Structure 1
């Protein structure tokens, strides 16, 4: 039996699989989806290509796994932040603040790299499904706010958030990006409907 670096074989395999996924994500972000191959991922993780095939039978399988794992961490952080938000305006603030904080940490990079890649149609369809699921809380909060054209409004807020994430990714201070983004959101929504957005500060939303 090969030497293992964990208390059990199952734990050893879980660690190796995680190392391969991390290596695949690193390659994806740095070089694009076409560079994610079993050989390249194995080399990055310090494993032989034959070992990679014990976990993933192809480059497509590696990319499909990255798609599935590109969202859970952010979604968990969003769920926690939204659970403590009182009312739709506060939920919008919490959503935006959490996404900008995660963006400053680089958490969105795998998903962004995947979006820019020429993926298999089924893989791209799944990626879009997960992206829409992640955006649903923002769309729901905008709808509950009672503004006209909530779908369009949510799309426009999504565009603003994308710009904020790009700025944070390029090194702009996250606090500055967050403050300016929320200011624009509040100004834009203030006259858009009967409910004035939350303006009680960003401390709670940014946590």
Structure 2
């Protein structure tokens, strides 16, 4: 029987699966989707190649798990950040600050890499669907402020957020970036 590295077999399996997902995220961000192979992922995770197939039937299935895992983590953090924000402006502020903190933690890396990647249509569609769902609280807050076109406004703010996340990626302090980004957003929304 193989050695397990956790108190229970289910915990061991969860750790192994998480290690494969982390390895895939690193490879994806560094080299793109074509480099996410069972051999590369298991080597990066420090596992035997056959163990890959105990968790995922294919590289595509692993990429799907990366997508779901990244958005689940980000959405949970975002929901927590929005818990105490009651009015639309506070929800926009909380969303922007949380999004930049997620960027500082590197949690947007998998989604960003997958959105740039040449993926199968169903995987690309799922990434776009999850991305839209992630941005729904921002769209709702903007709509509550009654701008003329909340979806377009959210799309434009999303572009500003992408630039802000790039600044964070390049080492600018997240709170400083958030303060400047929010000043621009509030000026643009006229509030």
Quickly name the TM-score band, shorter chain normalised: over 0.9
TM-score with structure 1 setting the length? 0.89
Distance in 2, Cα, partners of 1:18 & 1:179: 34
Distance in 2, Cα, partners of 1:149 & 1:2: 58
Matched, 1:54 2:54: yes
Distance in 2, Cα, partners of 1:159 & 1:21: 28
> How far 1:36 moved relative to its partner?
0.4
Matched, 1:35 2:35: yes
Extract unaligned runs of 5+ from structure 2: none
What is the aligned partner in structure 2 of residue 90 from structure 1? 90
Distance in 2, Cα, partners of 1:9 & 1:105: 29
Q: Work out whether residues 97 and 175 of structure 2, in 8 Å CA contact, stay in contact via their aligned partners in 1.
A: no
> How far 1:109 moved relative to its partner?
0.8
Distance in 2, Cα, partners of 1:10 & 1:85: 37
Deviation string, structure 1 residues 144-185 (Cα, Å, up to 9, x no partner): 111122221111111111111111111112122111101101
TM-score with structure 2 setting the length? 0.96
Q: Work out whether residues 142 and 150 of structure 2, in 8 Å CA contact, stay in contact via their aligned partners in 1.
A: yes
> How far 1:83 moved relative to its partner?
1.5
1:154-169 to structure 2, matched below 5 A, reads 154-169=154-169
Extract unaligned runs of 5+ from structure 1: 191-195, 197-207
> How far 1:71 moved relative to its partner?
0.9
Distance in 2, Cα, partners of 1:105 & 1:22: 14
Q: What is the aligned length?
A: 191
Is the partner of 1:154 in helix, strand or coil? helix
Is the partner of 1:75 in helix, strand or coil? helix
Is the partner of 1:119 in helix, strand or coil? coil
Distance in 2, Cα, partners of 1:96 & 1:142: 12
Q: Which segments of structure 1 move beyond 6 Å, counting only runs of 4 or more?
A: none
The answer to which of 123-132 and 169-178 deviates more is 169-178
Deviation string, structure 1 residues 25-48 (Cα, Å, up to 9, x no partner): 111111111110001011111111
